[in-house]
Structures are given as structure tokens and as C-alpha cells.
Structure 1
Amino acid sequence: MQTPDPMTGAGDQTGRSLSRLQLLAYGLMGLPLAAATLPVYILVPSYYAVELGLGLSAVGAVLFAMRLWDVVSDPLIGALSDRTRSRFGRRRPWIAAGAPLTAAGAWLLFSPGEDAGLVHLALSAFLLYLGWTMVMLPYSAWGAELSGDYYERNRITAAREGFVVAGTLVAAAAAALSGESERTTGLMAVGLFVVVLLPATALLMFRSVPDPPPDNRQRIDWRQGLDVLKQNRPFRRLIIAWLLNGVANGLPATLFLLYVDHHLKAPDKSGALLLTYFLLAIVGLPFWLWLARRYGKHRVWCAAMVWTCFWFSAAPFLGPGDVWLFAAVCVSTGIALGADLALPPSMQADAVDVDTAATGGAARTGLYFALWGMATKLSLALAVGLAFPGLEALGFDAAAAQDAAVGAVSNTTPLAWMYGFAPIVFKLGAIALVWRHPLGAADQADLRRRIEAEEQTDASR
């Protein structure tokens, strides 16, 4: 096998096995990228609305408007990064341009002055969202292109997603340690973390990880490309399953604090339980990679979802004081989260091979991962949109639940069932789609042979 040049990535990437250093260099950038996004969902809205006095409705409207920009930017940046021609590769220039925007947006958003208003919020959020998309989409596509091997893609995805979870923990810890009275300090700490670490990890990746050179094969027009995308059966099934599973994971994430605070009556344990959940996700990653090598990605992902359903089914039957029993739920479902993080994006990389083999042209990895990212964001939005209206429709009274903490009586049964049962419904739908996933190791190997034969034919012309 030809040895790739570390700067251009020239050489055969099909069966490439990355060294541990290269895996580390690739995955490490997920740490600051994750740290840059968690505060936007958890800390920024309340900080700008309450502490800076801008109002919940106004802040929510601004952040929602900025998020709508993703509908335009995601597919545009994904498609453009596929078409980029540069002596430095396709993905590296986009990350180099997007990293400073992300860092600047994070610093401006997380360290506003006392006189910061809605214009400051809008501009800084716009910079952060745009820069993050310019980095994350090429970064994900780059990982999918590092190897065409069915199993090696699991290692690459796991390296990235493991550091994403670690970045989430860093941001959560900064917020927790700062406390409500020092929220400004916590936000600034996260902003500084991103400003320093994002450029540093990007430089490390640029020097250590090959970026495949521009794909000069013929590109199909967008109408034909859309037809091929619609006919990509593995992709269709996978992205719908990913959406359903995303809602299933988003619902308990949205309701976690309510469940622990009001149903278990253990608000002082929420931080430790959440930390346990994410730590076990990292611990479980090697186990799921080992299983996937033996039994295939889609079957192992299904097994992990079934395991999660089993443990979530216990949540509605727990009650006040059952903290240790719920800790067992957090440990068990946290382990299964590792499969959710590593295996579906690896399967998505395989689905891109279906498209490349069908068109016989240049790979459209960036576009596919842009659609993947949009499905991820939609699942989070649906989870929030279903959780709170669903609780209200079922008769859960948050005010009464708050009073119950000091002695009043409140019915938290709707909360417990929404937290524990609703995710199972969505996961079962995902399992039904994935169980017969029509793209295993042998199928993907055949696709790679067809793609390589086409590449060799084009090169000889």
C-alpha cells in the first residue's frame, strides 16, 4: 500500500489503519468543539435573559433565528467542502477558516460585557454557529474518508465521539464549579478553553492526520444527485433511525433534572448522576467496538438500544429516595450511550460508499454528513418540543412539584412515565429500521472494490 503524504493525504486510504497517535490527533479536536456548544443550550439563554436582563422571549427568538441559519449553511458548506480543490486537501482549508470564527464567537458569546444587548447576542451566536459548522462538517467528513475499511471506521468515529463526550464534561464541570452566583466566571472559563484549545488541536491534526486530496472525478448535477440520494436505501433507513434514536436520547436529557429533582427528590445528586452517565459512555466505547468487530455494527447498535430500553423501563417505577437504583440506570444506560456515539456515524460513512458507487463520480461525504447533522439538530428540537407540552398534556404541574420538595403533595407520575417510557417507544422504532440494515461488512467491501475499480479506470484515461 502506498504511504500517504501527511500534508496532502496522497495515497490509498481504503484499507488504512491509523496509528494511536493519529487517532488521538484526529479525535482531540472534538473536545473544544463540544465544549463550545453545551453552554449555548444550557447556560447562555438564562444568563442573557435573566442576569443581563434581555428577557426570555427575546433571547429565545434570537437564538432560534440564528439556529435557522443552519438550514442554509449545513448543506451549503457540506457540498462546497466536497468540491474544494487545494494542495492542502478538501477539508483542511475549511477547518482552518472556521476555527478562528468558532473561537471568536465562543469568546464573545461567553464573555459579554454588562452592557451587551440583543445585537451582541445575535452577532456572537452567528459567528459561533457559522464557524462551528465550517469546522464540524468537514471534520466529520474527513473522519469518514480516513479509511474505507468497515471496522477501522469504528475506531475513528469512537476516537472523535469519546472526546466529544469529554468536552461535554469539561463544559458541564465548569458550569457546576462556578455556581449560580459565579456564572460569569464559568462561562468565561469555557470561552477561554475553546479559544486556546481549538486552534491547538486543529494544528496538531493538520500535522499528524492525512487529508485526502481533491477528488477530481466527474460530478453529477444536483437533480441526478438528488435521485441517487433518494434511492440510497441504507442511508434512508439509517437517518430515520438516527432521528428516532436522537429523540429517544433527547427526551430523558431534557427531563433529567426535573426527574431527579422532583420525582426522586434528590436535587443534590443530579450533578454526580449526570457525570456518571457521561463517564460510563467513554468507558463503554472499547466494549462496543469489540462487539461490532465480531457481530457487525447494526446488530450491536440494536443490542445496545434494547439494553437501554430494558433499563429505562425501570425509571417509571422508582420513587423518592431511590437514588442508588437510579444510579444503576445511569450506569447501564451510560455504557450503552457509547454504542450510540460510535456506531451510527460509522454506518453513515458506509452509506456514503453506496452513493459513490452508484454515481461513479466524486464522493459527496460532506453533503451526507451535513444532512446527518441536520437530523441531529432536528431530533434535539423535537425532543424539547415533545417533552414539555407532553408533560403539560399529561397533567404534570411543575409548580406543585416544586412545592412538594418542601412538604406539599404532587403527582410526578406523568414525569416518570415521560422520562422512562417515551424514549422506549422511539428506540423501538429505530431498532425496527436498523435490525435488517442492508449494508454489512461484506456488502461494504464489495462497494469499496467497485469504487476503487472506477477510480483506477478514471486515472488511466
Structure 2
Amino acid sequence: MSSLSATGSLPRPSATPRARAGGLPTGRLIAFSTLAMPIAASQMPLNVYLPAILAQHFGIALSTLGLVFLLAKAWGVVADPLIGVLNDRSRGGRFGRRRSCIAAGGVLLALAAMLLFFPVVRVTPVYVAVALFAFYLAWSMIQIPYLAWSAEVSGDYDERTRVATYQTVTSALSLLLVLVLPTIVDQIAPHDGRLKLGVMGGLILALLALSLPLTLKAFAERPPKAAGPRPKLGEVLRVIWGNPLLMRVLASDFAVALGQSIRGTLFVFVVTAYMGLPQWASGLFLAQFVFGLAAGPIWMRIAYRIGKHRAAVAGELAQVAINLGLLFVLPGNLPLLLGLTIAQGLAQGSGNLMLRAMVGDVADQDRLQTGQDRTALFFSVFSTSTKAAMAAAVGIALPLVAWLGFDPKSAANSPEALRGLLMVFALGPALAHLVSALLVMGFPLDARAHAVIRTQLAERDGQGADAPAA
């Protein structure tokens, strides 16, 4: 029997955790992490470029686009836990349940991307809706089992941080490409919407074709540990709400994503309207991503030394300080804004990286207590919390700055309206990151407690706790 209580309390072992033996091969881990690239590369076009191009170049009304994208995002929120539950209960055959779902999702994503980015018939709202619904379903079919599989390739506490770090860095690389390519197209053919769509769609398809076979061949998939009847929706909700450690991680992730999304939503407005430096908007955004690339390995090493939850707290508190520093930026003061933007890049991956790695540890605890493997379900609700936060950020930030008097169409906003814009830009993320830090402060599932869980799981399953998948 487990020494863990049903309420999520954890033991305080006297023995130190077993040291990592070997770890995952670097080459295989890089290959496995490449699938994060097409997943990440799909986010920027759908959230930033696609609505504007469909409105400006294909004549679809903004109100209609807003409804279509809202319904599509709502479908994505529903699809995540649906795929998570089904994938956890799937046997998968010889190919594996995670790999089978990812492969099928890859085929569907390629078809949906061709519909969205290479339209050969008249683009109508119905056409966009069908393509978006297929795209979000495919995205869930890839992302949810991929995140679950990421927690299963190694059960080691620190090795999971390493897996998440590699995925974070490859994601940032693909986002950098998605940011750079449209900028180049704007210099060549600024009014050619089809060209910009084709470039972004071609990048997604190329990354998918490269990464899918690499990831599927990188590691063998472990067979499911337990099987049982498929849970009903009410049972699934009780599982999620009834796990206090999972709820803390989800709430913390919601706060992280909310703060980042508020900042991202208002970033261009602040640089162009408040700072009066429209020529620097894209450059500053790129600088943040470049330094974010360098930050992943740094935070990985910090987590090795102090633990994942402490690293998350440190990173979130750093974000609080950085965002409060924005209150002191004056119009035209580029050096201070540049310095804070670089600092933001260095700190931005800490919370996302650590919290994602922590979900796998919580899933281990749940499997020890219940005998059920709910890894994909837990990662699906983790993904849902991020999407919900991104939607909430737009719903909070834009109406709030409008209420404070800011008009993005006006060339002469009042000083009070511009100051209100800066206040929301700085204080909104600062408060969100502070809440995120408080939620995981003192998190009990650290390396020592997780070592106990892995030992008990190994004894019950009859195999080595930390043996990586070959």
C-alpha cells in the first residue's frame, strides 16, 4: 500500500533520492523534442496573422471571424480532455497508444494546414470553420499524447525537467522562424496575403514532415500499466477537482499564461503608442524570443540544484520585479525598455517549463494512489488551462485599456490614457506572476518525495523506477 494519503499529502523520506543513472541519450532526446516545433509554429499564425489576413485579403467580416475563432477555440478546449481520456484508455496495439494517436493527428494536421494556408477554392466562413475545427482536433491529437509520452520516457524527477527544457528550446526556435518569415515577406510583397499564408503554412508542413518520423522513432513506448472502464464526464471532473496538487499546478499555470498573454496582447500598443517607437515593435519581440532560447538550459540547471517548484517560484518572482520595472519606463526611453525585454526573455520560460514537468510527477502520485494511468488526462487539462488563460487575457486587457481611454486607432491618445495602458501592461502580468509563485510555494512533491513514489511504483510494477524507454 502507498504511504500517500487521498488528500495529496506526501511523506518526508529520510533517505536521499536515488541519483540519476545515465539519463536519456542526448541525440534521441533532441529527435523526440522536434515535434514541439510544428506544435508551437501553429500558434502564432492562428492567433496573430490568420485573422488579419482573412479579413484584409479574403473579405471576411471581423464579427464573423470573431465568432468562428471563438467557436473553434471552444472546440479545442473540449477536444483536449476528450483526447486525454480516450488516449489514456487506449491499448494502442504494437505501435503504442501515444504514437498511434500522434501519427493520426499528424496526417489530419497536414490536411487541415493545406486547407487553411493553401486555399484553392473560395474562402468562406464555413470553409474557415471546417478547416479550423479539423486543425484544432489534430493539434489536440498530437499535443496531448505527446505531453503524456514526454512524462513517460523517464520517471526521474530531474530528467523530466531536461525533457521539458529541450522541448521549450525547440518550440522557441520555431516561434522565432514564424516571427522572422512574415517580416521578410512584408519587405518583399507587403500586400500579398496568399504569399504570407503560404510561407507560414509551408513552414508548418516542413517542420511536421521533419519531426514526426524523428519523434515516433526516438523512444519505445511503454505499455499501459493499468486498464479499466472508461470514466464518465462526472468522474473525470471529480478526478481533476479532487487532486489538490494538480489543481495547484493548473491554477499556477493559468496565472503564468494569463500574465504572459496580457503582456503579449498589449505589447505592440505600448511600443507604438506609448513609447512612440513603432519601428522597434517587431525587433523587441524578437529579442525577447532570442534570449528566451538561451534561458531554457539555465533554468534547467537551476531546477537541478533547488528543485522544480523552487525554480518556478524564483522565476515568477523575477517576472514580478521585471514587470513592476516597466512602470518606470518613459516614452522614448528605449534602453530601459530593451533591458527589461531581455530580462523578460531570460525569465519567461521558467514557470512554463517547470510546471509542465511537475504534471508528470503529479500523475505518478495519482497512479500510485489509484492504480489508474491518467497522464494524458492530466496534460490535457494542463493544456486547457493555458488556452483558457489566453482567451481570458484578451477579454480582460483590451476592454480594460479601452475603459481607461486608450484608442488604438487614434494618433493622439491623452497622457492619462497612455499611462493607463502602461499600468495594465505592467501591473496585470506582475499580479498574475505573483499569484503563480504563491500557488506553488512550498509544493510538497519535491525530488525526495518523488523518489519515494517512484520506488513504490517500481516495487508494484516489478521494474526499475527510472529506466528510460529504449
Global fold match (TM > 0.5): yes
**Segments ≥4 residues shifted beyond 6 Å:** none
* Partner Cα distance (1:48, 1:411) in 2: 30
* Partner Cα distance (1:75, 1:272) in 2: 37
Q: Is structure 2 residue 213 aligned with structure 1 residue 203?
A: yes
Q: Is structure 2 residue 441 aligned with structure 1 residue 431?
A: no
How far off its partner does 1:224 sit?
6.0
Q: What residue number does 1:133 align with? A: 140
Amino acid at match of 1:321: G
Q: Is structure 2 residue 394 aligned with structure 1 residue 384?
A: yes
How far off its partner does 1:83 sit?
1.6
Correspondence for 1:325 among 318, 321, 336: 336
1:280-319 alignment runs, 5 A limit: 280-319=291-330
- Deviation digits for residues 398-448 of structure 1 (CA, Å, limit 9, x no counterpart): 333x236xxx87740001010011111111111111111121111111111
* Partner Cα distance (1:225, 1:318) in 2: 47
Q: Is structure 2 residue 242 aligned with structure 1 residue 260?
A: no
* Partner Cα distance (2:335, 2:225) in 1: 54
Q: What residue number does 2:9 align with? A: none
* Partner Cα distance (1:422, 1:140) in 2: 29
How far off its partner does 1:321 sit?
1.2
* Partner Cα distance (2:231, 2:134) in 1: 31
- Deviation digits for residues 105-154 of structure 1 (CA, Å, limit 9, x no counterpart): 11211222473111211111112111111011111111011111000000
Q: Is the 8 A contact 2:253 2:351 kept in 1?
A: no
Correspondence for 2:149 among 142, 152, 174: 142
3-state SS of paired residue (1:399) = coil
Q: What residue number does 2:374 align with? A: 364
- Deviation digits for residues 148-169 of structure 1 (CA, Å, limit 9, x no counterpart): 1000000101111211111111
Q: Is the 8 A contact 1:16 1:146 kept in 2?
A: no
Deviates more, 1:391-400 or 1:116-125: 391-400
Correspondence for 2:75 among 53, 69, 74: 69
Amino acid at match of 1:75: P
Q: What residue number does 1:188 align with? A: 198
* Partner Cα distance (1:65, 1:227) in 2: 26
* Partner Cα distance (1:182, 1:210) in 2: 45
* Partner Cα distance (1:403, 1:395) in 2: 11
The RMSD of aligned alpha carbons is 2.0
Q: Is the 8 A contact 1:177 1:186 kept in 2?
A: no
Correspondence for 1:270 among 281, 284, 288: 281
Q: What residue number does 2:8 align with? A: none
3-state SS of paired residue (1:454) = helix
How far off its partner does 1:217 sit?
4.6
- Deviation digits for residues 169-223 of structure 1 (CA, Å, limit 9, x no counterpart): 1111122111142332122012112223213311111222222223345568556
* Partner Cα distance (1:455, 1:322) in 2: 60
3-state SS of paired residue (2:191) = helix
Which structure has the higher relative contact order (CA within 8 Å, separation 6+)? 2
3-state SS of paired residue (2:443) = coil
How far off its partner does 1:229 sit?
3.6
Correspondence for 1:245 among 230, 246, 256: 256
Amino acid at match of 1:213: P
Deviates more, 1:390-399 or 1:347-356: 390-399
How far off its partner does 1:16 sit?
7.2
Q: Alpha carbons of 1:170 and 1:391: their partners in 2 closer, same or farther (altered >3 Å)?
A: same
Q: Is the 8 A contact 1:78 1:367 kept in 2?
A: yes
Q: Is the 8 A contact 1:87 1:213 kept in 2?
A: no
Amino acid at match of 1:181: H
Q: Is the 8 A contact 1:79 1:367 kept in 2?
A: yes
* Partner Cα distance (1:230, 1:47) in 2: 40
Q: Is the 8 A contact 1:74 1:371 kept in 2?
A: yes
Amino acid at match of 1:414: G
Q: Alpha carbons of 1:215 and 1:302: their partners in 2 closer, same or farther (altered >3 Å)?
A: same
* Partner Cα distance (1:221, 1:51) in 2: 46
Q: Alpha carbons of 1:422 and 1:71: their partners in 2 closer, same or farther (altered >3 Å)?
A: closer
Q: Is structure 2 residue 40 aligned with structure 1 residue 30?
A: no
Q: Alpha carbons of 1:183 and 1:322: their partners in 2 closer, same or farther (altered >3 Å)?
A: farther
Amino acid at match of 1:356: R
Amino acid at match of 1:234: L
* Partner Cα distance (1:230, 1:451) in 2: 23
Q: Alpha carbons of 1:192 and 1:26: their partners in 2 closer, same or farther (altered >3 Å)?
A: same
Q: What residue number does 2:421 align with? A: 415
How far off its partner does 1:309 sit?
1.2
Amino acid at match of 2:412: D
Q: Is the 8 A contact 1:77 1:137 kept in 2?
A: yes
Q: What residue number does 1:230 align with? A: 241
Correspondence for 1:403 among 391, 407, 412: 412
How far off its partner does 1:230 sit?
3.1
* Partner Cα distance (1:130, 1:151) in 2: 32
How far off its partner does 1:56 sit?
0.2
* Partner Cα distance (1:315, 1:110) in 2: 37
Correspondence for 1:341 among 331, 344, 352: 352
How far off its partner does 1:228 sit?
4.5
Q: Is the 8 A contact 2:404 2:417 kept in 1?
A: no
1:36-51 alignment runs, 5 A limit: 36-51=42-57
* Partner Cα distance (2:219, 2:64) in 1: 43
Gaps of at least 5 residues in structure 1 are 1-13
Correspondence for 2:113 among 97, 106, 109: 106
The sequence identity of aligned pairs, in percent, is: 30
Amino acid at match of 1:123: V
Q: Alpha carbons of 1:184 and 1:221: their partners in 2 closer, same or farther (altered >3 Å)?
A: closer
Amino acid at match of 1:387: A
- Deviation digits for residues 21-58 of structure 1 (CA, Å, limit 9, x no counterpart): 11111111111221122101111111112211111011
How far off its partner does 1:226 sit?
4.9
- Deviation digits for residues 344-367 of structure 1 (CA, Å, limit 9, x no counterpart): 1001111111211110x2311111
* Partner Cα distance (2:268, 2:120) in 1: 30
Q: What residue number does 1:82 align with? A: 88
TM-score, normalization by structure 2: 0.89
* Partner Cα distance (1:379, 1:304) in 2: 19
Correspondence for 1:156 among 163, 186, 207: 163
Q: Is the 8 A contact 1:26 1:159 kept in 2?
A: no
Q: Alpha carbons of 1:113 and 1:268: their partners in 2 closer, same or farther (altered >3 Å)?
A: farther
